Structure 1
Amino acid sequence: MEEHTDFVRFKRGKLRQPKNIIKIKRTSTPDDVAAVLAKERNRDNNKHTKGDDEEDEAKEYGDVLDFGGEVSGKNRHITHGFHLVEGKMKHGMEDFLVAENRKMKGYDLGLYAIFDGHSGRKVAQYLHTHLFHNILKEVIIIEPDFWENPASALKRAYKKTDNEILKNVVGARGGSTAVTAILINQKQLVVANVGDSRAVLCRNGEVKQITVDHDPLKRKEKKMVESKGGFVSEKPGNIPRVDGQLAMTRAFGDAKLKEHITVEPDVTIEKIDKETEFIVLASDGLWKVTSNEEVADCIREMKSGQKAAEELIEEALLRGSKDDISCVVVKLG
């Protein structure tokens, strides 16, 4: 049985066409999100109160702040929003996300993530509960100078979480992408990713991709796979795959292919200044049908992160995306 240490608040929104679009507020535990997506689509507000164990967890790893996705600092007003829709792939919803704010050790943290599962939902579900927990544990216990040099702590947390998954969560099949972003004091953004979920940032009207799509055909990625004894297939009419199976070179889980892929993330650090307008994290259900520039143009004039996230998913559906789609938008006023 999985141990769940965070808490969650939901607020049901109106269903918009198609019927499987669901609006979820303040998500931080996967079982509750899974219940909403799979079993509780017609229920009203579902509130969960922290118990003693969760209170202890909050004290150790930071309090989740209850301000509905908005926070104001000395110079900025930040609002985040998120949206998910189940695709038409007949495998059930496999996307999970995180969008929350915490205070920890005197730092204001925005925690954002997208987890896009494949060959099942278990890995993405586990990441949803445990990855930020492991990252913050690395920060507090092992590397208190995270704020100056976060890359090594993030890589250790990713590896530790993957080891837990391979040992306790999933067998030979099943894995997930991950893109995580930590906004520190509204001034610095630390982003890590494996797989093809993506993050972009818009600054002074220019959009910048701040993650790496781990495409098997990219020279660096293909060389890495081959150096481990694997191969990349390039069959006509099909997407490139590691060992003819996986459409990415980096992922959590996927034990059958682990000797030939890696869970080591690419880590990027971005300065957040007055020219920074917004940040978008999304699964490939969005990026398959829209470019970075089109995403930026779609939401550039919007003030609300929530409305922006909903608009992006609606646009992806209009363009024929059939995959699960999850999206987090952080707007910086």
Structure 2
Amino acid sequence: MMINNMDHAIPSSPAFNNCRQTAGCSGGSDVARRAELRRSKVSVPSQGDESLFKRKRFEVCDSENTDSEFPQRSCVIGRRREMEDAVSVVLGFINDNDSRKFDFYGVYDGHGGSRVANGCRERLHKVLAAEMAAGSGRVAELDWEKLMVESFEKMDEEVNESELVGSMGSTATVAVVGEEVIVVANCGDSRAVLSRGGAALPLSNDHKPDRPDELEKIERSGGRVVNWNGQRVMGVLATSRSIGDRQLNPYVIAKPEVTVTKREDGDEFMILASDGLWDVISNDLACHVVRKCIDGRITYRRRSQQLNDNQYRLANAATVLTELAMARGSKDNISVIVVNLKD
């Protein structure tokens, strides 16, 4: 993959000769998409750029499943000194009374340190499962918004009871995927995007301090939004909702916004990612790149003997997105999960 006119370049494979191969300009008449892809051409340094490799370290994102069972994620420290992102993939984390399986996916973007993000990775799906099990009736009939809000609040309470976290916090974007429904709960500026029938459909709305309704909420609670290297709550935090951050309560809250989406035949895949991706890549471009990877038209990551063809393409898609975000100048940690909804 080759990207020009960038302050930072990334190593790549010969398969990434230019951005048209990466994001696919062939076919179709979408002028805006082609214009965006032309702006994102990539140039690559030699493999001997050791200083770059030290900056671009891939982190192992632990979870309860092995890599061969959930290859669809990629996490990179990027140009940050510390990895503060965490991801969680728990397949079949709960079954309803009709024995239908529900999978859990979560992306957590920590700030001030990694403890809160890691705590959410280890605990939030368990808290949610306990809340779901405590409800009466079938899972499909539960009040998803109430379940998510209560689970996030309990996770926030757990975090704030610990003296170790101090002023740390984390965004949380989680998705529960069943046979009939996709439930997304978002607290912060990570994001979930669904590709349906070739179109990108956002399943969450970023919580930024300058979002009009968020700004009103902050000011109504007695807080302020200050332009300090970007719009920040009290001049400190660049997101208006998070888990933790007890020193900014009540200006910053842990209440998520919840969307419940009925699955359709045209659903292709879902992307969950931290803002290290979304700051530099649009929803449309991200879905376009993933579609090309799943179709086998972009190959970057080496094929592992542990992965079948479908798993390899998911892993490849997540890696390509993190590479492209790096090439476009992202200076944050980048974490991506790609969920194939066709299988």
What TM bracket, shorter-length normalisation?
0.7 to 0.9
Contact 1:146–1:153 (CA under 8 A) maintained in structure 2: no
Query: 1:288 Cα deviation (Å)?
Result: 0.9
Cα distance between partner residues in 2 of 1:281 and 1:169: 30
Contact 1:171–1:255 (CA under 8 A) maintained in structure 2: no
1:153 aligns with 2:147: yes
Specify whether residues 232 and 143 from structure 1 end up closer, same or farther in structure 2 by C-alpha distance, changes over 3 A only: farther
Q: Which residue of 1 aligns with 2:281?
A: 290
TM-score (normalizing by structure 2): 0.74
Specify whether residues 22 and 66 from structure 1 end up closer, same or farther in structure 2 by C-alpha distance, changes over 3 A only: closer
Query: 1:130 Cα deviation (Å)?
Result: 0.5
Cα distance between partner residues in 2 of 1:168 and 1:228: 25
Letter in 1 for 2:161: K
Letter in 2 for 1:314: E
1:266 aligns with 2:257: yes
Cα distance between partner residues in 2 of 1:189 and 1:220: 25
1:97-131 CA-to-partner distances (Å, cap 9, x unmatched) read 01231152412112111000000111001000000
Cα distance between partner residues in 2 of 1:109 and 1:84: 24
The 5-angstrom pairing of residues 26-37 of structure 1 reads 27-28=62-63
Contact 2:78–2:326 (CA under 8 A) maintained in structure 1: no
Contact 1:88–1:322 (CA under 8 A) maintained in structure 2: yes
Cα distance between partner residues in 2 of 1:242 and 1:131: 25
Aligned residue pair count: 269
Query: 1:276 Cα deviation (Å)?
Result: 0.5
Specify whether residues 246 and 28 from structure 1 end up closer, same or farther in structure 2 by C-alpha distance, changes over 3 A only: same
Cα distance between partner residues in 2 of 1:172 and 1:314: 33
Contact 1:82–1:309 (CA under 8 A) maintained in structure 2: yes
Q: Which residue of 2 aligns with 1:119?
A: 112
Query: 1:21 Cα deviation (Å)?
Result: 4.1
Query: 1:23 Cα deviation (Å)?
Result: 7.0
Identity, % of aligned pairs?
33
Name which of 235, 251, 273 aligns with 2:242. Answer: 251
Cα distance between partner residues in 2 of 1:245 and 1:125: 21
Letter in 2 for 1:183: V
Q: Which residue of 2 aligns with 1:240?
A: 231
Give the unaligned 5+ runs of structure 1.
Answer: 1-15, 30-63, 70-79
Q: Which residue of 2 aligns with 1:9?
A: none
Q: Which residue of 1 aligns with 2:271?
A: 280
1:179 aligns with 2:173: yes
Q: Secondary structure, in 3 states, of the residue corresponding to 2:268? A: strand
Q: Which residue of 1 aligns with 2:297?
A: none
Q: Which residue of 2 aligns with 1:203?
A: 196
Q: Which residue of 2 aligns with 1:68?
A: 69
Give the unaligned 5+ runs of structure 2.
Answer: 1-46, 295-312
Q: Secondary structure, in 3 states, of the residue corresponding to 2:157? A: helix
Q: Which residue of 2 aligns with 1:87?
A: 78
1:164 aligns with 2:200: no
Q: Which residue of 1 aligns with 2:315?
A: 306
Q: How large is the RMSD of aligned CA atoms in angstroms? A: 2.1
Specify whether residues 328 and 180 from structure 1 end up closer, same or farther in structure 2 by C-alpha distance, changes over 3 A only: same
Query: 1:190 Cα deviation (Å)?
Result: 0.3
Cα distance between partner residues in 2 of 1:65 and 1:184: 21
Q: Which residue of 2 aligns with 1:138?
A: 131
Query: 1:87 Cα deviation (Å)?
Result: 2.3
Query: 1:172 Cα deviation (Å)?
Result: 4.2
